[in-house]
């Protein structure tokens, strides 16, 4: 499916106004989902807060109470997109380190290299020259978020003296870059298709193998 088709289909996600009170977290989830739909459909510059509120089935006043600007809403949308990378996972407690790292990296790759997430990355790249505030919002959402599952597992191994690396976050970024950096850049440039699950698994295993050969305490 093309990114255009994804954006067109995303219009079907707009919701009718609800009548029941909802928890704050659920309201924020619906707003960021609606924002993602509108951003992908219209682009950042053309997207309107009116359309986001309408898509979420809420008033514009409610939207502005949570997100005072379009930039703040976009930042929250990126944070929501990245949130699954920070979820607790049983792999953080997997005794076999190589198996744990491969599983965590592979799951992150499947999420970030999915079509919808890929479309958001391309949106940022295409619109930053006209909307420079996107770059700062994207940077805060990506590097300002909490520790990922991968970072937490690496930090635990460092504390236990099993990895000879200085910084868990830096190592997590390095390992993910080893796994998918070149592939992701080529896909963003339109030079190749997004990898399928088998390629993501293969790249994850190869990168973890190289990483552990250099970082594991023998």
What pLDDT was estimated at residue 30? 96
Window from 18-32, 47-61, 155-169, 171-185 with minimum mean pLDDT: 18-32
Distance CA 172, CA 105 (A): 9
Digit-coded pLDDT (tens) for 15-32: 545 456 688 899 999 999
Chain CA centroid to CA 61, Å: 28
Residue by residue, DSSP assigns 20-74 as: S---HHHHHHHHHHHHHHHHHHH-TTT--HHHHHHHHTS-HHHHHHH-SSHHHHH
Distance CA 163, CA 149 (A): 16
Q: What is the DSSP letter of 148?
A: -
What pLDDT was estimated at residue 20? 60
For the whole model, what pTM was predicted?
0.83
Long-range pairs for 138-144: beta carbons < 8 A, 24 or more residues apart:
138/75, 138/78, 140/75, 141/75, 141/76, 141/78, 141/79, 141/82, 142/78, 142/82
Give the pLDDT band (50/70/90) at residue 215: very high
Digit-coded pLDDT (tens) for 102-153: 999 999 999 999 999 999 999 999 999 998 888 888 888 887 677 899 999 9
Domain boundary assignment for the chain: 3-68, 84-215
Residue range 171-198: mean pLDDT, rounded: 96
Query: What token pair was written down for 101?
Result: 């790292």
What pLDDT was estimated at residue 19? 53
CA angle (213, 214, 217) in 5-degree steps: 80
CATH architecture classification, 3-68: Orthogonal Bundle (1.10)
What pLDDT was estimated at residue 137? 85
What pLDDT was estimated at residue 4? 47
What pLDDT was estimated at residue 41? 95
Digit-coded pLDDT (tens) for 35-92: 999 999 999 999 999 999 999 999 999 999 999 999 999 999 999 999 998 888 899 9
Answer yes or no: CATH 1.10.340.30 is held by domain 84-215: no
């Amino acid at each position: 499916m093309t990114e255009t088709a994804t954006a067109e289909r995303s219009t079907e996600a707009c919701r009718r106004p609800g009548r029941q009170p909802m928890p704050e977290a659920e309201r924020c989830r619906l707003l960021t989902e609606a924002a993602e739909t509108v951003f992908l459909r219209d682009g950042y510059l053309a997207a309107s807060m009116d359309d986001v509120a309408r898509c979420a089935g809420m008033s514009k006043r409610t939207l502005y109470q949570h997100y005072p600007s379009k930039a703040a809403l976009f930042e929250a949308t990126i944070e929501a997109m990245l949130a699954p990378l920070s979820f607790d996972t049983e792999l953080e407690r997997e005794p076999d380190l190589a198996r744990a790292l491969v599983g965590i990296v592979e799951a992150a790759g499947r999420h970030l290299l999915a079509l919808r997430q890929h479309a958001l990355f391309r949106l940022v790249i295409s619109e930053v020259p006209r909307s420079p505030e996107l770059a700062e919002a994207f940077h805060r959402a990506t590097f300002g978020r909490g520790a990922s599952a991968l970072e937490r597992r690496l930090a635990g191994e460092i504390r236990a003296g099993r990895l000879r690396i200085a910084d868990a976050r830096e190592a997590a970024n390095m390992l993910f870059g080893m796994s998918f950096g070149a592939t992701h850049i080529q896909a963003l440039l339109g030079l190749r298709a997004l990898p399928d699950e088998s390629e993501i698994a293969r790249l994850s295993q190869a990168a973890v193998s190289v990483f552990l050969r250099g970082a594991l305490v023998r």
